[in-house]
Amino acid sequence: MPRYYLEPMRQEDVAEVSQVDHLCFSNPWPQSAYRRELRKPQSNYYVVLRRADEAAPNGAVESSEDERGRFSFLPLPWRTEAPRRSDPVIGFAGMWIMFDEAHVTTIGVHPDERGNGLGELLLIQLFVEATSRGAEMVTLEVRVSNDSAQALYRKYGFERHGVRRRYYSDNGEDAYIMWSPNIREPGYVEHFYRLRGRLLERLGGQLVAAPDESAASSS
């Protein structure tokens, strides 16, 4: 059974992220764009999802609350040292944070890993970071033809609030502008927790804590 863990995206991840980006999208970002974004951690946030190809030393992640309050997601011991290169990046996501708004810039999952709830996992992690930084609303653009992505966003309360004409440079396709409700409203928090719980139940023991350096060196 595959296992997965989340880590902050770092400069050394960009080449691998770019490879997955090219598999996901017809208009992938250049590596220089990711490198530029990562130089602004005060206003940006980027995360990678890795598949643990070795036995996960830290066990399954449990849902819990922490000092951020009820909207917290997973108590992951996010590593700051270089990741183990044997654990491939199979997903990524990012956003800009501007005052009380968060703008999702990208979410991608390797085509071979789709259909397993991993895109939803990445979206949830963006929501958690957005609220931890004081955001109240989340917005994004999505291709008008991308029905599966729109269904996921509607599941989390997003609604369409306009169209950006010929937004995508590869084929001139329009993009819907979608906005979440206020993610701090108690009713929305309850909705979020129900969805989060269902996802954790679906993933079961597949979501694990990021391996620490001592575990990596002893494996």
Q: Are 192 and 127 in contact (CB under 8 A)?
A: yes
* Catalytic-role residue among 141, 168, 173, 193: 141
pTM: 0.85
Contacts (Cβ under 8 Å, ≥6 apart) of 18: 28, 29, 30, 31, 34
Tokens representing residue 62 in the block: 């449990």
Q: Which domains does the chain carry?
A: 3-213 (3.40.630.30)
Of the candidates 13, 74, 107, the one whose C-alpha atom is nearest the C-alpha of residue 210 is: 74
**Dihedral of alpha carbons 128, 132, 134, 140, sign:** negative
Report yes or no: 120 and 199 within 8 Å, Cβ to Cβ: yes
Quick: pLDDT tens for 69-101: 445 444 343 444 444 557 899 999 999 999 899
Query: What is the per-residue pLDDT for 211?
Result: 63
Report how far apart, in Å, the C-alpha atoms of 199 and of each of 73, 81, 82, 116, 217 are: 11, 29, 28, 10, 32
Please say if 12 is a catalytic residue: no
Using one digit for the tens of pLDDT, what is the confidence trace for 100-143? 999 999 999 999 999 999 999 999 999 999 999 999 999 999 99
Q: What are phi and psi of 136, to 5 degrees?
A: -115, -25
The confidence score (pLDDT) of residue 86 equals 72
Is the model more confident about 173 or about 52? 173
Q: Tell me the two tokens of residue 39.
A: 């130089």
Copy the structure tokens of residue 53: 């190809």
Residues of the chain with pLDDT > 90, as a percent, come to 68
149-158, 174-183, 206-215: range with lowest mean pLDDT: 206-215
**Which residue among 4, 45, 153, 176 is the active-site one?**
153
**Token duo for residue 161:** 């609030």
Q: Is 45 one of the catalytic residues?
A: no
